[in-house]
Structure 1
Amino acid sequence: MRKELVISAKRDQVQLALLENQRLVELHQDSQDESLKVGDIILGRVKKVMPGMNAAFIDIGGPRDAFLHYTDMGPLFTTYAYYMHGILSGKHKDYNLERLKVQENMDKEGKIEDVLKPKQILPFQVYKEPISTKGPRMTTEVSIAGRYLILTPFSNQVGVSRKVANETERKRLKRLIESLKPKNFGVIVRTNAQGKKSSELHQDLESLLKKWRTAIAKVHNAKPRTVIHSELDKTTTTIRDMLNSSFNAVITDNETIYNSLVEYIGDFAELDTNILRHHRGERPIFDQFGVTKQIKNLFGHTVTFAKGPYLVLDHTEAMHVVDVNSGGKVAMQGDQETNALAVNTDAADEIARQLRLRDLGGIIIIDFIDMRAKDNKKFIYDRMRDLLKLDNATTTVLPLSKFNLMQITRQRVRPQVEIKTVEQCPACNGTGKIEASILVTDRIEDAIEQRTESDSIHLKVHPYIHAWFTKGLFSERYKLSKRLGKRISIDAVENLPLNKFEFVD
């Protein structure tokens, strides 16, 4: 399988597209704003304790209060609260937790009002970003992620990712980390750590411990609503978590990101800087690699697959619903059961792709085409489970019910990726009438003539208009350039409407 990461950077947003055999399977967006991100640690103040919900609302300075449930506080909360109280008051100055007095574990069935009080100040970590009308969800089970390891203070447990399947390697990693980690710090070993040397893991661990000490050093003098540890921007974290030796190419159109990647990849022996490319072409990078067209095809209300069948995707506050339709494949050869199995098999492939692509989380209900045979139902269930093993998010899949419904839960950490593919026509503003398209070339020529301040003109147009201007030995661009005595460059941009054009200054 050929894997490519294409990174498009604009003034206010960075988009990362993961391609597998040139098929778009993941799309990540990083807005350049100041909003909190998953992993950020902020000094918050308890605003309300809600015994009926066994939860509390935390003031972190955002437009909506954050939410903390009792189960997200963890069994070691009493130790955490005791230590943080000492840090805030100045009594504790041991950031390494070596001499920490561990308190009794919190009762799993306990009540939040017994351990958390209004106006209490503590560091809280963003566990889930704000979704819809809900504020961010917080936790006090603090963790700091690196490339190979995740540091979990106040715990002594060492865990290894389930995706590390080799039992010998699991034991090696666990034994190694247990010998390296300091007291009262837990560690989760990530999948990327497979085959890594002790020196590489130790370096990552030391980096995480330094981040912890830096964050805790800020707590004593910090005021409520202060961010004491900020996770890397989403672009960097996505690259850190995703990039490995299986990638064939990483392409970006931004020089700053390219230079950062050269430096980043150079630090890891398993990665080859030869996979990096800096796109300097005139066409936008997403157009060049076919990403724009795939986005338009894959983010609509309906998604066609396998040249006929299609999915209908609907979203509610509680769940996502996917309906599988056979479309033009009703006339396939064979009986109804065989046809249904063929369509459902292709649908399972596309649905697994859509879950990753749109980052759908929560409850997903899939209405497959009716099948009677138990073996066929089990085949679709097994196939979906195998496909979702490629997904980094945690998923749970249930077998098809007697109504041919499949239930999936998928870890929801961030809001789903939403891209509007149906919009009001920018040319007619929804009226259904536009200026005669034949006149657009006249308007372009008039606009070029009016730009007298420069002898060089660079503009972007729709691909059809680009073809009209540039095709032929003595093209219209050539004639216009000779007549006006100007150097004229024209780029084709798929996102532009037919009757729109833009000058590049």
Structure 2
Amino acid sequence: MVVRQIGDRIQIGVIEDKVMVEHYVNRNSNISYVGNVYLGKVQNVLPSMEAAFVDIGKGRNAVLYAGEVNWDAHGLSDTAPRKIEQVLKSGQSVLVQVTKDPIGQKGARLTSQISLPGRYLVYVPGGGMSGISRRLPDNERNRLKGILKNLIPEQAGVIIRTAAEGAPEAELERDVTRLKAQWDDIEKQAKSSSTSAPSLLYGEPDLTVRVIRDIFNEDFNKMLVQGDQAWDDIQNYIGHIAPELATKIEKWTGPRDVFAENRVEEQLAKAFDRKVYLPSGGSLVIDRTEAMIVIDVNTGKFIGKGGNLEETVTKNNLEAAEEIARQLRLRDMGGIIVIDFIDMTLESNRELVLRRLVECLGRDRTKHQVAEVTSLGLVQMTRKRVGQGLIEAFSTTCESCGGRGIHIHAEPVKKVALEKDMEQRFSKTSKANADEDLSDDDDKSDDEDSDNEPIDNSNESEQEVEAPAPAARRKGRRAVSTGVISTN
């Protein structure tokens, strides 16, 4: 793992076999809210959308969907009808946690099912269920099950993380005690008369600490750190939370930049390209649209070594499946993803490629789901998106093309623009004449209007709201321009 701090920007690269597979970036001017706990104030409830707007003190209202409401906290049983307007009213204070940062015109996403992550486990206040990560081997899961029986506090749940593999019972117990104290403090603040909504009750630590807490473990050989502030933060966290990892961190003192020394910048530059070249000569073309991300697989210069066309295509697709899994992690792409592999005749080969993709995605810590292959041979999958992707972090929408990635020729534009201008002028003239004709009836209409005052629904339309959809489709919708200007 490589950490670089330059000014207010912190970048972290995860390297496997000299190849960067994950990248994280954070600026003080663009801090993530994910994980923060707020005492919010309900601004508006929309029963038809099964959602509520909640003010968390960030200017733009956040969205709380009915599926993210903690019904148990409101005393509703599983059999009782659950409608968001039953438990939330305008002006009401509500305890919420941010699950997704605001994107474009959409506000942050919220949940009232609070969870507090620790080094080895996740503490779920009021949760009636506990669990253990499926990534752990069976023998370790059995060991942790025995420990878990003694750890679970009353009126709370505990989810054991992958990092708990091999951890002694005392360390797990210390994690539970620390997280329970955090929750008690949050509850105390929420109930205090001096706390008024909206208020921040708990803030997640900065990017450096979060990555070390969630990712860095015994599997890493070392961590190279460039930057005094980043080094101090890491040392402080490691010393208090994970002292066993202290020997794995090293402050970078070399003459060259730590990213340049480890070829991170070179790999980052390639990650901004639309086209990705495969080692054998094939290629991927990655396009972002409003609805989804589309990945096209091409053979390019790859002609195979003997055999037949089916064998050549299958080898190219297998290589592409491995690279696609890496690109999803590196670029932090999320939402609906459609992959167009090269057509294969044999069903066994199609299953082989799909299995390879699923296996490679097994190293991805971000929640994802691979669906069945469509009748057209397209692979559909979803990947949860929480924060900014790589492209969004280092680019801005092109001012020349407005994010479309193309320029329209002048000839048809001039004609259309002229016709549109004439139409607008005619509309304004007609409206002015109509207003004059109705001026004599103003006195009569005043009395009627006073009894039928229009309702101001500005709160309902102040931002774009996406309709509730099945969980697989709501995991990571994104709206990204195709025309961008690098701001690196």
Normalising by the smaller structure, the TM-score range is 0.7 to 0.9
Query: What corresponds to 2:135 in structure 1?
Result: 163
Secondary structure at 1:162 match in 2: coil
Task: Give per-residue Cα distances to partners, 1:422-470, cap 9 Å, x unaligned.
Answer: 999xxxxxxxxxxxxxxxxxxxxxxxxxxxxxxxxxxxxxxxxxxxxxx
Determine which of 72, 77, 96 is the counterpart of 1:76: 72
**Counterpart residue identity of residue 42, structure 2:** V
Supply the RMSD in Å over aligned alpha carbons: 2.2
- Please say if residues 136 and 165 of structure 2, whose CA atoms lie closer than 8 Å, have aligned partners that are also in contact: yes
- In 2, Cα distance between the equivalents of 1:417 and 1:175? 41
- Please say if residues 62 and 108 of structure 2, whose CA atoms lie closer than 8 Å, have aligned partners that are also in contact: yes
Query: What corresponds to 1:127 in structure 2?
Result: 99
Secondary structure at 1:407 match in 2: strand
- Please say if residues 32 and 387 of structure 2, whose CA atoms lie closer than 8 Å, have aligned partners that are also in contact: no
Q: Do residues 400 (structure 1) and 379 (structure 2) align?
A: no
1:342-491 alignment runs, 5 A limit: 342-418=315-391
Secondary structure at 1:258 match in 2: helix
Task: Give per-residue Cα distances to partners, 1:318-356, cap 9 Å, x unaligned.
Answer: 211101111111475332211111111111011000111
Q: Any gaps of 5 or more consecutive residues in structure 1?
A: 79-102, 425-505
User: What is the CA distance between 1:165 and its match in structure 2?
Assistant: 3.0
- In 2, Cα distance between the equivalents of 1:332 and 1:182? 61
Query: What corresponds to 1:10 in structure 2?
Result: 6
User: Please, which moves more after superposition, 380-389 or 294-303?
Assistant: 294-303
- In 1, Cα distance between the equivalents of 2:54 and 2:222? 43
Query: What corresponds to 2:154 in structure 1?
Result: 183
- 4+ runs of 1 displaced by more than 6 Å? 421-424
- In 1, Cα distance between the equivalents of 2:267 and 2:41? 45
User: What is the CA distance between 1:109 and its match in structure 2?
Assistant: 5.4
User: What is the CA distance between 1:405 and its match in structure 2?
Assistant: 0.8
Q: Do residues 50 (structure 1) and 30 (structure 2) align?
A: no
User: What is the CA distance between 1:368 and its match in structure 2?
Assistant: 0.5
- Please say if residues 68 and 138 of structure 1, whose CA atoms lie closer than 8 Å, have aligned partners that are also in contact: yes
Task: Give per-residue Cα distances to partners, 1:301-327, cap 9 Å, x unaligned.
Answer: 111121521111111222111011111
Query: What corresponds to 1:33 in structure 2?
Result: 29
- Please say if residues 159 and 187 of structure 1, whose CA atoms lie closer than 8 Å, have aligned partners that are also in contact: yes
Query: What corresponds to 1:21 in structure 2?
Result: 17
- In 2, Cα distance between the equivalents of 1:149 and 1:410? 23
C-alpha spacing 1:65/1:198, structure 2 compared with 1 (3 Å): same
- Please say if residues 381 and 398 of structure 1, whose CA atoms lie closer than 8 Å, have aligned partners that are also in contact: no
Query: What corresponds to 2:59 in structure 1?
Result: 63
- Please say if residues 338 and 381 of structure 2, whose CA atoms lie closer than 8 Å, have aligned partners that are also in contact: yes
- In 2, Cα distance between the equivalents of 1:73 and 1:269? 34
C-alpha spacing 1:108/1:370, structure 2 compared with 1 (3 Å): farther
- Please say if residues 296 and 421 of structure 1, whose CA atoms lie closer than 8 Å, have aligned partners that are also in contact: no
Secondary structure at 1:327 match in 2: coil
Secondary structure at 1:360 match in 2: coil
Q: How many aligned positions are there?
A: 395
Flag the structure with more relative contact order, 1 or 2, with Cα contacts below 8 A and sequence separation at least 6.
2
**Counterpart residue identity of residue 66, structure 1:** A
- Please say if residues 44 and 121 of structure 1, whose CA atoms lie closer than 8 Å, have aligned partners that are also in contact: yes
Determine which of 160, 181, 184 is the counterpart of 1:210: 181
C-alpha spacing 1:382/1:12, structure 2 compared with 1 (3 Å): same
Task: Give per-residue Cα distances to partners, 1:260-304, cap 9 Å, x unaligned.
Answer: 434444456784433322112232211111000111112211111
Determine which of 273, 286, 289 is the counterpart of 2:259: 286
User: What is the CA distance between 1:175 and its match in structure 2?
Assistant: 3.4
Task: Give per-residue Cα distances to partners, 1:385-404, cap 9 Å, x unaligned.
Answer: 11111000111112433422
Q: Any gaps of 5 or more consecutive residues in structure 2?
A: 399-488
C-alpha spacing 1:272/1:55, structure 2 compared with 1 (3 Å): closer
User: Please, which moves more after superposition, 178-187 or 352-361?
Assistant: 178-187
- Please say if residues 24 and 294 of structure 1, whose CA atoms lie closer than 8 Å, have aligned partners that are also in contact: yes
User: Please, which moves more after superposition, 222-231 or 105-114?
Assistant: 105-114
Secondary structure at 1:328 match in 2: coil
Identity of aligned residues (%): 34
**Counterpart residue identity of residue 318, structure 2:** T
User: Please, which moves more after superposition, 411-420 or 267-276?
Assistant: 267-276
TM-score, length-scaled by structure 2: 0.76
- Please say if residues 299 and 421 of structure 1, whose CA atoms lie closer than 8 Å, have aligned partners that are also in contact: no
- In 2, Cα distance between the equivalents of 1:351 and 1:232? 31
- In 1, Cα distance between the equivalents of 2:240 and 2:87? 44
